[in-house]
Amino acid sequence: MLEYLLSVCKSSKFYVPVITICVTIVIINMSSKVVKKLINRNSNNFEIKKRNTIVSLLENIIRYILVIIAILIILSVWGINVSALITGLGIAGVVGGLAIQDALKDIIMGCNIIMDNYFIVGDLVTYDGFTGEVVEFGLKNTKIKAFDGTVLVVANRSISKIINLSQKDQAVFITVPTSYDETEENVAKVLNKVCKEVKKFKEATKEGEYLGVNELSESSVDYLIKVQCKAGDQYALKRKVLALVKHEFDSNGLKIPYKQIEVHNGKRV
């Protein structure tokens, strides 16, 4: 039994496939590490994310090519006529191409997404009403992760229209309901102060802007302010601004009213 095992191990049909598989795995891992080091060298955050997207696609292509080469080497060692196989695959590829049209469309569209700068990994996007961060971009599909952890997987061929929220600052409009008893002059004074202090928040990219009266609603006068931030920070910034508004209103004696209903019991008003 031992002699048989030794003879098997010494056979090229055994050790060549093992060496080929090991070398392929090592090359894939080494190329991935080298590329990541190159990505992080002398690049700003945007360039790193853009290169990371391209590398993600190239890594998939390189992986498939190396695996195919390794399979052909192994088959050749096992005595299979690789030349005839490749010729046969070429003929079958024409027929198979019809069956894998969708996969080819995914790959082509994936290249278009990069060339036309639709988005990159790390961007905040909205696709068909679903908003989230692009967490993975591959040959066939794109994965978008929402704030609640939900992941949407979209075939690249389906991405004809997508809204990229990361290519410019996001404007956040905040409604501030105030009592009808308060004068517009006093409210404007307090909200202008709030807008100036917004800049102290790390999420804000500039001072806020007081826009004035937005609506005369049933129970309150609704004022509007505008703040700006990077994509993805709008929810955190809105919470902080609302807390600041509440603090300033309390400090200056301004009222945020409860919803009110006037009831007239059949009497003339």
Task: From the options 1.10.8, 2.40.50, 1.10.357, 1.10.287, give the CATH code of 9-99.
Answer: 1.10.287
CATH 1.10.287 domain position(s) in the chain? 9-99
Q: Which fold has domain 170-251?
A: Alpha-Beta Plaits (3.30.70)
Q: Which of 109, 139, 138, 143 is nearest to 125 (CA)?
A: 143
As a whole number, mean pLDDT of residues 247-258 equals 90
pLDDT-derived band at 249 (thresholds 50, 70, 90) equals very high
CATH 3.30.70.100 domain position(s) in the chain? 170-251
pLDDT-derived band at 100 (thresholds 50, 70, 90) equals low
Q: What is the assigned CATH class of domain 115-164?
A: mainly beta
Q: What is the pTM of this model?
A: 0.48
* Degrees, nearest 5: CA angle 171-173-177: 165
How far from 60 is each of 28, 72, 90, 139, 234, CA to CA, in Å? 10, 19, 22, 7, 34
Q: What is the pLDDT of residues 121-130, one digit of tens each?
A: 778 888 888 8
